[in-house]
Structure 1
Amino acid sequence: MKIEIWSDVMCPFCYIGKNNFEQALEKLPFKDQVEVEWKSFQLDPTLDPAETKNTMTYFKEKKGFPDAQANQMMSQVTQMGKNAGIDFNFETALITNTFAAHKLLHLSKKYNKSNEMEEALFIAHFIDGKNVGDVDTLVAIADSLGIDKEEARQAVISEEFNQEVNEDIQQARNNGITGVPFFVLNGKYAVSGAQPVETFENALQQTYKETVSPFQDLSNGENACGPDGCSI
């Protein structure tokens, strides 16, 4: 069963959704039959990759939130994060263009480390306050996962993975995806947003039952023929 997840590195709900999804998956007996593919999405492609802003400044400028509303929103997301096992550090998180980070994510697929890369990028951005638009920072993250530093550097500074990132973004548009996280379950069902563990668990079970598990025979098996003969 394949799960496609559209996500952006600087989306806190994507990190929460990832944790809740993984907690749900761990509970299921068919977890080893699930393939997860991370897809690129940019919440704000207009950001300058050479600049960074702190989270509060960005929300006030982008959304026009007054200080009180921005603080309230940060508090609510912080609590949601704690419930999902994440200690967000919005005071140090740096908002920037994430296109380069997505190129590194696509490189990591070559080594079957995309899930580890997604987690590492979330930690770098939300916990460690690192600039995930910075080339040296991204190369160091790749190195920590055992990916060759020079290969990572070329992936980030060249146009090698531009097409893959843009194809993910275009596919999201074609599917009417306007927000993330967005989970597509075996090409049949969708779950949007950082849903609770129970929602993911139920959705995964339903998808598996309807698209992967063997047919449920509603008859008594009579009046049919097989290798051993016919039954009446």
Structure 2
Amino acid sequence: MKVEIWSDVMCPFCYIGKNNFEKALEKLPFKDEIEVKWKSFQLDPTLNPEETKKTFEYFKEKKGVPEAQAKQMVEQVSQMGNTAGISFNFDKAIITNTFSAHKLLHLAKKYKKDNEMEEALFIAHFIEGKNVGDLNTLVDIAASLGINTEEARKILTSEEFDDEVKQDFSEAKSHGISGVPFFILNGKYAVSGAQPVDFFANALQQTYEETVSPLKNISGDDNSCGTDGCSI
């Protein structure tokens, strides 16, 4: 069973959603049968890759809200994070263009380490206050997961994986995805937002049962022919 997750590294709800989703998986006896595929999404592709902003500065410019209101909004998200086991550090978080971070995610997929990469990028951005748009920072994150630094630097300074990232963006658009996190369960059900653990567990259970259960015949009279002849 496949679960596709669209996410952006600077989305706090994506980090909360990831934690809740993984806690839900741990509850399920079929967790090892679920294949998780991380997909790229950019909340603000207009950001200059050469520039950075602080969280409250960005909220003020992007949302047009005063700093006091921005801090209140961030505090609410921080409380949600605490409930999910995440200690957000918004005072240190650096807002920047995340396209390069998504390229690194696709490199990690090559080594089946995209889940570990997603976690590492969230930690770097939200906990450690690192610039996830910076070349050297991203190379160091790759190295921490055992990914060759020369290969990481090569893909980050070239157009390699650009098309793969853009393909994720295109798929999101085709699915009508305008916000993240967004989960598609086995191509059948969609779940948007950082839902609670039990919600994810129930949704996964339902999808799994419908995926692996044998077909139920609801047709009544069996007027058909088989290898043993026809039933009349």
TM-score (norm: length of structure 2)? 0.93
Matched with 2:62 is 62
Which amino acid in 2 is paired with 1:128? Answer: E
Which amino acid in 2 is paired with 1:38? Answer: W
C-alpha displacement of 1:67: 1.8
Matched with 1:37 is 37
Matched with 1:191 is 191
SS of 2:184's equivalent? strand
| 1:135 lines up with 2:135 in the alignment | yes
CA distance in 1, matches of 2:172, 2:213: 28
C-alpha displacement of 1:212: 2.6
C-alpha displacement of 1:156: 1.1
C-alpha displacement of 1:157: 1.2
TM-score (norm: length of structure 1)? 0.93
C-alpha displacement of 1:71: 1.0
Matched with 2:108 is 108
C-alpha displacement of 1:66: 1.2
Which amino acid in 2 is paired with 1:101? Answer: A
How many residues align structurally? Answer: 225
C-alpha displacement of 1:98: 0.1
C-alpha displacement of 1:216: 5.9
Matched with 2:204 is 204
| 1:155 lines up with 2:155 in the alignment | yes
CA distance in 1, matches of 2:213, 2:120: 33
Give the CA RMSD over aligned residues: 1.9
CA distance in 2, matches of 1:126, 1:171: 27
Runs of 4+ residues over 6 Å off in structure 1: none
Taking the TM superposition and a 5 Å limit, the aligned residue runs for 1:10-25 are 10-25=10-25
| 1:85 lines up with 2:79 in the alignment | no
CA distance in 1, matches of 2:158, 2:213: 43
CA distance in 1, matches of 2:213, 2:183: 20
CA distance in 1, matches of 2:55, 2:61: 10
Which amino acid in 1 is paired with 2:125? Answer: H
- Residue-by-residue CA offset, 1:45-92 (whole Å, 9 max, x unaligned): 000111110101000100001122111111100000000010000000
CA distance in 1, matches of 2:138, 2:101: 7
Which amino acid in 2 is paired with 1:115? Answer: N
Identical-pair percentage: 74
- Residue-by-residue CA offset, 1:143-164 (whole Å, 9 max, x unaligned): 0000000000111111000000
Which amino acid in 1 is paired with 2:67? Answer: D
C-alpha displacement of 1:210: 1.0
C-alpha displacement of 1:167: 0.4
Which amino acid in 2 is paired with 1:212? Answer: V
Which amino acid in 2 is paired with 1:105? Answer: L
CA distance in 1, matches of 2:202, 2:33: 16
